[in-house]
Amino acid sequence: MEIETIRKTDPEVAELIEKELERQQNTIELIASENFTSKAVMAASGTVLTNKYAEGKPYKRFYNGCENIDKIEELAVERAKKLFNAEHANVQPHSGAQANMAVFLYAVKPGDTVMGMDLSNGGHLSHGSSVNFSGLYFNIVSYGVNSQGEIDYENVRELALKHKPKLIICGASNYSKIIDFKKFKEIADEVGAYLMADIAHIAALVATGEHPSPFPYADFVTTTTHKTLRGPRGGIIMCKEKHAQGIDKAVFPGIQGGPLEHIIAAKAVALKEALSEDFKAYAKQVVLNAKALAQSLMDEGLDIVGNGTENHVMTLDLRKLNKTGKDIANILEKAGITANKNTVPNDPQSPFVTSGVRLGSPAATTRGFKEEDMKEVGKIIAEAVKISDTNDEEKLKELRQRSLNLCKKYPLYKD
């Protein structure tokens, strides 16, 4: 990282970047939507490509001087198609939410009925939350999970038959079970709806076969590139060829102007990495580590929504302990573990307090953690939960040291 170059111009920003690097190096990252990019991905995102405007598609730009930009974006597109076995890919969306917005713009009109997973049950803001564009401009019908933390597909079907949505969204930001894309497709076909799969969280698992793929079934598949894919912060839309022109127009000029070509270059690098055998091994370990962490927590007497995980994420359910997600996330940070408060199904607390903590394995797996390490992480979390009412400084210091020992075992950005 070019810290010294930044320091010459802006020592204040340089110092804060160095502090953030130190925080990442010395903290166990369990936020399920975060990961650590390779140095190559990070370097690509900070190149001279940031200087170039390139509105339009490769070889059909509104600006001259795009011959190199075109080839880089073309590489990103072809790698995305190969990785996911997709018919068409657009790598220009600035984020996953904007990728979803482009699908809305193409597939439905304001006021149309859209079905998506309820935010409090594990969905995403852009799947119909009342405070998001998706909930503000469309008639949203939400489905949730049952007491086992699983999607009730018969309930989804009943809602679809009753409300006749134009678009059905499957995929989540906090769902620990395998998603049955085939069932969603059958429901969508029964009511004549488009099907969109948002695989932002499970993209790496889908790409490597650790989770079933939505591509045989969904009209549109959206993803972020910065979660399990270990790329830069950004989005991708993939779709059936028959929707390609409409989706491309929805992205530009529909919802955004010039694409971030330095980020697209970083996407291209990350997608190349994701096509490797090493990445397949990584994705497999992500699932093994998540299962080890979930089991460790349950062995310590803690509740996990759905009694475990089938992917990379799980939710600690604190209701029987009368503790809040906000308080536990804060105590975990003092113990050297970063996580985020999260609602549990039928949560009695507000979204700003919550009764749960979401935990994920992707970032720790990138560092090199294995199952035994995740079991130790589970024990640290359990002990932190137990002392959360007392804020025992000596115990917290001990837990922080145990977390730090794991971090030192697997150095981050040291070589």
CB 125 within 8 A of CB 119: yes
Token digits for 7? 């320091």
Residue 185 parent element (H or E):
helix 181-191
CB neighbour burial string for 281-305, b if at least 16 within 10 angstroms, e if fewer: ebbebbbbbbbbbbbbbbebebbbb
Going by DSSP bridges, is the β-strand pair 60-61/356-360 parallel, antiparallel, or unpaired? unpaired
Catalytic residue among 18, 34, 47, 55: 55
Selecting among 183, 233, 240, 334, the annotated active-site residue is 233
Amino acid identity, position 407: C
Q: Do 169 and 116 form a contact (C-beta atoms < 8 A)?
A: yes
The residue to which tokens 């995929």 are assigned: 171
- 52, 79, 227, 400: the catalytic one is 227
Q: Is 324 a catalytic residue?
A: no
**Is 392 designated active site?**
no
The question of whether 106 is a catalytic residue gets the answer: no
Query: Is 55 designated active site?
Result: yes
Site of tokens 């038959």: 161
Task: Indicate the helix (H) or strand (E) that contains 3.
Answer: helix 3-9
Q: Which residue has the tokens 């294995």?
A: 370
Given 73, 118, 198, 210, the catalytic residue: 198
| The two three-digit tokens of residue 235, written as one number | 């989005």
Distance CA 367, CA 160 (A): 43
Determine contact, residues 176/358, Cβ cutoff 8 Å. no
Catalytic status, residue 277: no
**How would DSSP label each residue in 345-369?**
TT-SS-TTT-SEEEEE-HHHHHHT-
Q: Alpha helices, DSSP H only, in 164-276? A: 181-191, 203-207, 244-249, 261-274
Which residues fall within 8 angstroms of residue 398, CB to CB, at 6 or more apart?
none
Between CA 171 and CA 181 the distance in angstroms is: 9
Query: Which candidate, 173, 219, 369, 197, places its Cα nearest to that of 285?
Result: 369
Q: Are strands 56-57 and 60-61 parallel, antiparallel or unpaired?
A: antiparallel
Scan for tokens 């950005």, then name that residue: 413
Is 53 part of the annotated catalytic residue set? yes
CA distance 319 to 178: 25
* Torsion sign, CA atoms 302, 305, 309, 315: negative
- One of 7, 53, 87, 410 is an active-site residue; which one? 53
Question: Would you name the residues annotated as active-site residues?
Answer: 53, 55, 198, 224, 227, 233
